[in-house]
């Protein structure tokens, strides 16, 4: 008789723990921030341990206030669209620009002010003094990116879309 009561108690306790686990997983699922970004090593990339340092810091910041984080690495332009349309909650690693301010809020930068650079192949005769001087050259940028106010406004004049 005592053995049967013990089995019932264990079964009851197991069912309670299972129910508790389902409830907790639902609460956790409701408190998960869906973040999108692209691969930008060494700061964040699906190829780096734990997604890289910026991914880790961001996940820890959310964890400290009770949120889980799901990171998805996508092409940059698609990541922007996901945030703009609400398919994702946040975008990791975006530069501030006026267009993005219409649909997104920015945190303070944790890496300091980002600086952009124009890179030319070693031994190249290309010199850079102004954006006008770059007109004859092919310049590659990541689709959907923002470099700086000055560069972004000159992209059409430089043949960059």
> What's the domain count of the chain?
2
pTM value surpassing 0.75: no
Confidence category of residue 9, pLDDT binned at 50, 70, 90: very low
Question: What is the extent of the structural domain holding 87?
Answer: 31-101
d(C-alpha 6, C-alpha 3), whole Å: 5
Give pLDDT tens digits for 96-142: 888 888 988 888 877 666 666 677 778 888 777 777 777 777 777 77
**Which domain CATH number covers 40?**
3.40.190.10
Q: What angle is formed at CA 86 by the lines to CA 85 and CA 90, rounded to 5 degrees?
A: 115
Q: Are residues 47 and 97 in the same domain?
A: yes
d(C-alpha 72, C-alpha 7), whole Å: 45
Asked if residue 154 lies in contact with residue 102, where contact means CB atoms within 8 angstroms, the answer is no
Residue 1 placed within a domain? no
């Amino acid at each position: 008789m005592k053995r049967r009561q013990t089995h019932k108690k264990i079964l009851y306790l197991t069912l309670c723990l299972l129910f508790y686990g389902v409830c907790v997983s639902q609460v956790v699922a409701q408190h998960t921030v869906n973040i999108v970004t692209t691969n930008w090593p060494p700061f964040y990339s699906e190829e780096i341990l734990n997604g890289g340092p910026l991914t880790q810091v961001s996940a820890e910041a959310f964890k400290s206030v009770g949120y889980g984080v799901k990171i998805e690495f996508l092409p940059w332009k698609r990541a922007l669209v996901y945030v703009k349309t609400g398919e994702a909650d946040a975008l990791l690693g975006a530069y501030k620009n006026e267009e993005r301010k219409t649909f997104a809020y920015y945190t303070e930068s944790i890496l300091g002010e980002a600086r952009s650079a124009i890179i030319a192949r070693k031994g190249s005769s290309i010199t850079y003094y102004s954006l006008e001087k770059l007109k004859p050259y092919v310049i590659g940028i990541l689709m959907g990116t923002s470099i700086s106010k000055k560069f972004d406004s000159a992209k059409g004049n430089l043949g960059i879309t």
